[in-house]
Each structure stands twice: as C-alpha cells, then as structure tokens.
Amino acid sequence: MNKNAQLQTADQTLKGAVIALGSYIAHKYNVDPQIIALSIPVVSAIMAWISTRLGNPHTACLFVEKEQPKK
C-alpha cells in the first residue's frame, strides 16, 4: 500500500473516531437522537473543510502534505 493511501486511511479513521466519540458523549448527556443524527453530516463537512485548509485540498486529508505549486 502506498504512503498516501495509508495516510488517507489514518485520516478517515481519526475522523470516524471523533464522530463516534461525539455521538457517544451526546447520547450520555441525553441529547435527542434526531439532533445527534442531524449533526453527524454537519460535523463531517466541517472536518472535511478543516482538512482542505490544513492538509491537502484535493483529498481533504490532514496527513497528506499540500502539493507545492509548479513553477
């Protein structure tokens, strides 16, 4: 497996863990299940947007380095 594929897998695993942890905490604090379900796509979109700003904008991955502009 190439390095970018491994980094992409790690990135998606981390994002999934963040969503799962947030859902678990919300459930423990008796947040309405509909609110939890509606917040998952919003949180996913926010994390993807952050990934395009901090990481590679083409893959929305935090761990893959940004491509340098060609001269």
Per-residue pLDDT reduced to its tens digit, 10-68:
899 999 999 999 999 999 999 999 999 999 999 999 999 998 888 888 777 877 777 66
Q: Is residue 71 part of a domain?
A: no
Q: Is residue 64 part of a domain?
A: no
In terms of residue numbers, what domain contains 43? Answer: 3-21+30-54
Number of domains in the chain: 1
Q: Do the beta carbons of residue 36 and residue 23 sit within 8 Å?
A: yes
Q: Is residue 62 part of a domain?
A: no
Q: Is residue 59 part of a domain?
A: no
Q: What is the pLDDT of residue 65?
A: 75
pTM over 0.85: no
